[in-house]
Amino acid sequence: MKLIIAIVKPFKLDDVREALVGAGVEGLTVSEVKGYGRQKGQTEIYRGAEYQVVFVPKVKLEAVVDDAAVGKAVEAVKAAAATGKIGDGKIFVVNVEEAIRIRTGETGSAAL
């Protein structure tokens, strides 16, 4: 099993979720994060003091999928999250050694 970590623009969240579901992913977990990268944050001004907001709001999706499903899932995220503009985000793939569904105790692919 692999953990797919996708960092995308917040307004793409729903599109990406739907794409993943379309690719057979049945569950995922989302966090609100702040990203730093090529895309620069905006400037806030308060009484003359400028605050360069170095971080840009992003959302991080994490989905654990079967090895076989990784390719399709990655493609789905790529297609759904892309706008072609700087800051579209990244996808990382990490190996997962075990997965357990708390409710049933199922493990491995059955737990996803």
Partner 1 sequence: MKIFGTFGLKRLGAIALAAAILGAPVMMAHPALAQDASSASSVAASSAPAAAAPAAAPAAASNDAVVTYPKDAVNSGDDAWMLTSSVLVLMMTIPGLALFYAGMVRKKNILATLAQSFGATALITVLWMVIGYSIAFTGHDPYIGDFKYFLLAPLNGDINIANTDLAPTIPESVYMFFQMTFAIITPALIAGALADRMKYSAFLLFMGAWLLLVYCPIAHWVWSAKGFLGTGGSIGALDYAGGTVVHLNAGTAGLVAALMLGKRKGLGTENFAPHNLAYSVIGASLLWVGWFGFNAGSAVEAHDGQAGMAAAATQIATAAAALAWMFVEWIVSKKPSVLGMISGAVAGLVAITPASGFVNPTGALAIGVAAGVVCYLSAVHLKKLIGYDDALDCWGVHGIGGALGAILTGVFASSKINSAGKGWLYDGNFHQVIAQFEDVGIVFVYCLVMTFIILGVLKLTIGIRVSEEVEQEGLDINLHGEVVHG
Ligand X SMILES: Nc1ncnc2c1ncn2[C@@H]1O[C@H](COP(=O)(O)OP(=O)(O)O)[C@@H](O)[C@H]1O
Of 15, 6, 8, nearest in space to 57 by CA: 8
Q: Which does 76 bind (CB under 5 to 8 A by kind): ligand X, its own copies, partner 1, none?
A: none
- Encoding tokens for residue 13? 């969240």
Is 34 a binding residue for its own copies by CB under 8 A? The answer is yes
- Asked if residue 6 lies in contact with residue 91, where contact means CB atoms within 8 angstroms, the answer is yes
- Write down the least CB distance from residue 13 to its own copies, Å: 9
Q: Which does 56 bind (CB under 5 to 8 A by kind): ligand X, partner 1, its own copies, none?
A: ligand X
- The overall longest dimension of the chain from CA atoms, in Å, is 58
Q: How far apart are CA 68 and CA 11, in angstroms?
A: 29
Give the footprint of its own copies on this chain (CB under 8 A): 2-3, 6-8, 14, 17, 26-38, 54-55, 58, 60, 64, 74, 77-78, 81-103, 105, 111-112
